[in-house]
Amino acid sequence: MHSALSLSFSQASLPLPNRPLCSLNAAPSTPRSLRFCGLRREAFGFSPSKQLTSCRFQIHSRRIEVSAAASSSSSANGNGATSKSFDYDLVIIGAGVGGHGAALHAVEKGLKTAIIEGDVVGGTCVNRGCVPSKALLAVSGRMRELQNEHHMKAFGLQVSAAGYDRQGVADHASNLATKIRNNLTNSMKALGVDILTGFGSVLGPQKVKYGKVGFPDNIITAKDIIIATGSVPFVPKGIEVDGKTVITSDHALKLESVPEWIAIVGSGYIGLEFSDVYTALGSEVTFIEALDQLMPGFDPKISKLAQRITPAKDGRPVMIELIDAKTKEPKDTLEVDAALIATGRAPFTSGLGLENINVATQRGFIPVDERMRVIDGNGKLVPHLYCIGDANGKMMLAHAASAQGISVVEQVTGRDRVLNHLSIPAACFTHPEISMVGLTEPQAREKAEKEGFKVSIAKTSFKANTKALAENEGEGIAKMIYRPDNGEILGVHIFGLHAADLIHEASNAIALGTRLQDIKLAVHAHPTLSEVVDELFKAAKVESTASTTAQSVKVAV
């Protein structure tokens, strides 16, 4: 039985690197190879309308199987009293990380708050994204270390052959998601947030309805409403997902099988992290991407380094038909046991009643201004209506959604706040990790050319860091883009051990407007990995030595 998939594909291929991505020290004998055939669009979001204009391929799978509550109202602890004219001060549609962050901050500000969830508390991040994937990546990291005999011998350790129990690994991910979901639910209940179960939609100005299928709808009013409905995996037209051999990240997180050979379509965060998991567990992986560059949303220096340490070997025959979209000529064929569609995510905004308030989505995203206020079809602001997180498409990251929600609560309680999206960090939890904040070098140089200032680059290596060498993890770099005239940090990119943890000093510096001439005087404990960032700051050559720390920096995106 065969499954046919079709996508767009621009004619481009990368030379096959000869070492493992996400594993600097993988044992050569372990069957964990990856191959890259062109690459994807961006790191922070996904634009289906642009991505899929230039490629097409078909995948014929060898083994394909076709797979065919009541609301909880919390006690009034901490939940403020509302105006008599409304049922609530704030109603949030969607109880993911963004909605949860907004709800907790609203209660702290004294607002009577309700949150509506049609599925389960925690949304994509907790149940089908960030949380279970990190559990799987924790396993893959340990497997890589145990499988690498040379790495272990360097510590004077002898370890017998490492193995794993697939169901045990899957249970670890599932149990973690359940634990975090319960934590989020309990935290809202403890503060008195009303958790309303059902699918919510906007009925009109300051009015929301919610309910379950087959039951009467409930109608409530609120002074302010936040839409926080998140996103779902984007599956290009022509691909039939059966949940067994043609899967999305939702299916992959259940780890119902570990294919011998899997094609991953898309090399953004999702694709890279799953390649780390599958290769550590013994799969051979082939990446398929529409663009001709690895990780195009990342800084080019980081992309090149990741490509250099990415594994590849010919392996056994595969059958994927790659066709040039322009010439329609066949380019290559592969045959795989499974295909993971990791082509990004699409906003979940259908059925929200947007037509009731004259709001039209743009490529599925709800249009908002820099304060997350919803914009209607005439370009006017919809009073008292906001949209945060993946549904607005500004930055499709869970912590960005939470930050946006908090900024909205600040606004509705009388404190104007514009979130600086350039200060929000991002991370890819491969082995080694990748993190970034701010602009890439090409973006910074484009900005500099338009605004008339110079750009400088500072770099440092993990090979010079005592803690990294003690861990036998000296492979990695940190790169900073900055303005030499005034010491402003424009962007920082890190590839190496615990990069996801190291990025926050730079992120906070950008958020607070701290300049290099000030932060390079900060003291870091020795020996720690934080000294990688410390050395990066100290390597900067700033023309002005005067302290110019800004009190507040507002950048709208």
Distance CA(534)–CA(528), nearest Å, equals 10
**Poorest-pLDDT segment among 285-294, 344-353, 511-520:** 285-294
DSSP E strands in 337-428: the ranges are 338-341, 345-347, 373-375, 381-387, 426-428
Q: To the nearest whole number, what is the mean pLDDT of the chain?
A: 83
pLDDT at res. 304: 81
Q: What residue segments make up the domains of the chain, in order of their start?
A: 88-232+346-413, 246-343, 423-539
User: Residue 160: pLDDT band by 50, 70, 90 thresholds?
Assistant: confident
CATH superfamily entry for domain 88-232+346-413: FAD/NAD(P)-binding domain (3.50.50.60)
What H or E segment, with its residue span, contains residue 434?
A: strand 433-438
pLDDT value of residue 8: 42
Fold match flag (88-232+346-413 vs 423-539): no
Mean pLDDT confidence for 522-544: 96
Listed range (63-72, 315-324, 368-377) with the worst mean pLDDT: 63-72
Q: CA 484, CA 486: separation in Å to the nearest integer?
A: 6
Percentage of the chain surpassing pLDDT 90?
68
Q: What is the mean pLDDT of residues 400-427?
A: 97
CA distance 390 to 286: 28
- CA 169 distance to own-chain centroid: 22
pTM to 2 decimal places: 0.82
- The structure tokens 């995510």 sit at 345
The class of domain 423-539 in CATH terms is: alpha beta
Helices 504-512 and 530-538: angle between axes, nearest 10 degrees: 50
Q: Does domain 246-343 have CATH number 1.10.3720.10?
A: no
- Active-site amino acid positions: 526
What integer pLDDT is reported at residue 289 of this predicted model?
Answer: 78
List all residues 6 or more positions away from 8 whose beta carbon is below 8 Å from its beta carbon.
51, 52, 53, 54, 55, 56, 236, 290, 325
Retrieve residue 299's tokens.
């800084």
pLDDT, residue 556, reads 57
Calculate mean pLDDT across residues 298-322. 62
For residues 1-19, average pLDDT? 39
Q: 358-375 as b/e, with b when 16 or more CB fall inside 10 Å?
A: ebebeebbbbbeebbbbb
Give the pLDDT band (50/70/90) at residue 295: confident
**Cα angle 435, 441, 443; round to 5:** 105
pLDDT digits (tens, 9 = 90+) for 81-130: 666 799 999 999 999 999 999 999 999 999 999 999 988 899 999 999 99
pLDDT at 312 over 70: no
Is the predicted pLDDT of residue 332 greater than 80, yes or no?
no
- Is residue 22 over pLDDT 80? no
Cross-strand bridge partners of residue 226:
92, 386
pLDDT tens readout for residues 498-521: 999 999 999 999 999 999 999 999
Could you tell me which of 506, 503, 461, 455 has the C-alpha nearest to residue 482?
Answer: 455
The predicted model gives 73-83 an average pLDDT of 54
Least confident of 49-58, 80-89, 246-255, 283-292: 49-58
Nearest to 87, CA basis, from 219, 237, 186, 201: 219
pLDDT in tens, 42-72: 333 334 434 333 334 444 433 333 233 333 3
Q: Which residue has the tokens 């079809």?
A: 377
Q: Alpha helices, DSSP H only, in 10-129?
A: 48-51, 97-108, 123-128
Count of residues making up the chain: 557
Above 80 in pLDDT, residue 285?
yes
